[in-house]
Amino acid sequence: MTQLKDLNWPAYIRGFADRRETWKQYRFLLLPEDNIFIGSYILFPFPNFIIILIQRYMSSLKLLVAQLLLGLITFSQYSLAVDCSSFQQYMGCRSGQETKNPDDWANRSFQTFLPGDPQYKPEFESLGRIMCYSNIVYAGDRQSATVELRCRKHTSIQKVQYNFNNAGWVDTATFKVDKSFSGQNLPILVKGIDTDGKEWQNTMEPLNFLWQAENVPQSDAYKKGQKGAIIEMFGWPWADIRDECAALGKMGWMGVKVFPPQESVFSMEWPQNGELNPWWFYYQPVSYRLDSRHGTRAELREMIQTCRKAGVRIYADAVVNHMSGGGNDIWASHRNGGGNWCTYWGPKTSTGSSPYFTHSFTWQLSNNTNLMPGTEFPGATYIPTDFHCERSLSSWTDPFQLNNGWLSGLTDLDTESDYVRERIAAYFTDLLSIGFSGFRMDAAKHIKPDSIAAILYKFKNNLGGGELPDDWITWLEVLLGGEKDLLMCNKDSGYNYGQGLADSLQKAGLSQGDIYKVKIWQSDYPKEFPACGWVIPSERFVAQLDCHDDQNPGSSSRDMGDTGSVLVREKNVDKHRNFNKQLFQRTDGNWQIKLVLSSYSFMNNGAMGIPDGKSDCSKCVGAVCNSCSKSMPFSKAHDPNVCGYTCQVNGSWQEGVYTRVHRDYQTIQAMRDWQGLPKVTNPSDLGLPGNCGNSASEAGFLASETQ
């Protein structure tokens, strides 16, 4: 905890002048954390600025005596109340139309703990002094590239040096590489040298390049990756997908969409509503490093390469609208409450090793800056001024709120900022460079169409500036409901993802061929599509039965009524299978990309965590593990000896197991017919156990039990 004697006094005084706050409002800043008399209480309404003056000019012993005297005087006149004050009231937007944080909030950067701080960890390296990201720009033929290190440095750093491919330190931030490069990846180090000559070094993620990716042996039926069925393998670790890919290629699936591969919130100490590491932590990224719940960057690379060789493309779920939720960070203490109650909670960790900070529910000053905390994600090279100012999102028909509001308290990136757009484009470029064929854009309707167009244009330029790759696609999550006129029907609404987005993409510099590859996930399928008629060609929509969001009890993200089925909620295998077959058999839309969810079943006690062993309450550590009441035991994802729908055995629904919908013989046959693939009747030729096409296996028996 920073003591007041260490405050950045000029900035502190400016804060008072700028915001014209009263002494009473700043009482929680003025009382030291270790005030021995007051402790966890606050005294009203003593003029606390006296304590500041005492702290500023008196020794510790005199301060102790003074605090005791002041406490006795105040205690004799006023009652004690629970102190649950925080900085929250100073963190939001200052006016109704303001969207950005104040420029001087950049001074709240470089909060990462330094060596010597009790909270420092060696894996933080020197992110408290310098933070960088790699930007790859390919030549027009994509056979060579220039890597540029883009860094933000603390004011104490006077010089930055770089080490590419272990070739020694240089002053140049760029490095050229081409197909002659023989390494498996490009290692990079960066260091800053401060005014005292001290060196601060960081290790960057090693880079891969487009030309290193394995070729994907697929027939012309897949139209070079522009027509096919993609499995969403919800909760599958990279190693299990790797082992499944040989069979997937035989079955005929064009690709697999993995869930967010970027580093995200994680904690083995702080259960959330009874669950340890709920699945939605996926969607709270803390960096763009490819260290996820399901494996390391190296394991991801191995999986992608293995799958590509097997004829299976891999797609990422990219979370770029926001970072982690406010209050989910590595600060040691947070608190929130009111009246006579107060809830405290400690730090989260991550699936990697990056530090990350939010300003929400904080009440202690930063040791590094002596200022109130700021929202900072050094692993993504984001600082407080890269975010929209905090405001709740309470209207789904107001474009201003949709774009600028903090969705469910998630720290919302300022995607109108050129810096943020370039950073996201660099992340997209890294995804393709490691071998992904495309990506889903999560929460896309919270990034206004003009910003999406600008980001994709920067991404296009990073890839050499010509046509986007033949096999590349993206699809945008745009949930339609009462706001369908705004988002889809009225192309002139100013916030439209139908023809309005197409116009923005063209204006930004994308060709008609590029625009064709930018798809919209059709949330109005199967009950209400097309909600506005085919305002854009049906080929630019992506169709799907149930998705991972639909599985939540009480989810209202899509209304399928009696025209669809959510497997893990209805637990009706036959019904679900028939609707998935219908997805491939219907002809009232010319969808070129179709998705199939292959998920896992939830526990009867409400546990929805992923069955990879990391949501098992027995693994919880710390003082609050008694609150972990919804445990999800481990279940192996890859099993070559089973058929599809392994969530049902002998007519009995199974808890906490992978559903393996993609292994269902009938669904595979329907998919292959739609894809235009040859008829294959022998299950073994599809990578399945030999009896998977019989009536017993189709009724939900495990293949191994019927042999």
CA distance 688 to 701: 14
Q: Which residue, chain included where needed, has tokens 């969810």?
A: 597
- The single-letter code of the amino acid at 355 is P
Beta strands in 234-274 (DSSP E): 255-257, 265-266
Alpha-carbon radius of gyration of the chain: 27
Q: Which of 412, 442, 524, 698 is catalytic?
A: 442
CA distance 273 to 629: 8
Beta bridge partners of 520: 476, 541
CA distance 273 to 609: 11
CA nearest neighbour of 457 among 536, 531, 511: 511
DSSP string, 367-421: TTTSS----BBGGGTB-GGGBBPB-B---SS-HHHHHHSBGGGEEEB-TTSHHHH
Contact call for residues 589 and 541 (beta carbons, < 8 A): yes
CA nearest neighbour of 334 among 367, 357, 368: 357
Mark whether 570 is an active-site residue: no
Contact call for residues 380 and 287 (beta carbons, < 8 A): yes
Q: How many CB atoms lie within 10 A of CB 60?
A: 9
- Residue 164 token pair: 């590419």
On the CB side of 644, CA atoms within 13 Å amount to: 29
Q: Which of 477, 514, 524, 612 is catalytic?
A: 477
Cα 250 to the center of its chain, rounded Å: 32
Contact call for residues 659 and 601 (beta carbons, < 8 A): yes
SS3 content of the chain, % helix, strand, coil (to 5): 30, 20, 50
- Exposure of 327 by Cβ count < 10 A (0-12 exposed, 13-18 middle, 19+ buried)? buried
Residue 517, C-beta contacts closer than 8 angstroms, at least 6 positions apart: 226, 438, 468, 472, 473, 474
Beta bridge partners of 203: 189
CA distance 171 to 166: 14
CA distance 523 to 540: 13
Residue 207 carries which DSSP code? B
Mark whether 559 is an active-site residue: no
- Residue 393 token pair: 């999102």
Residues marked active site are found at 442, 477
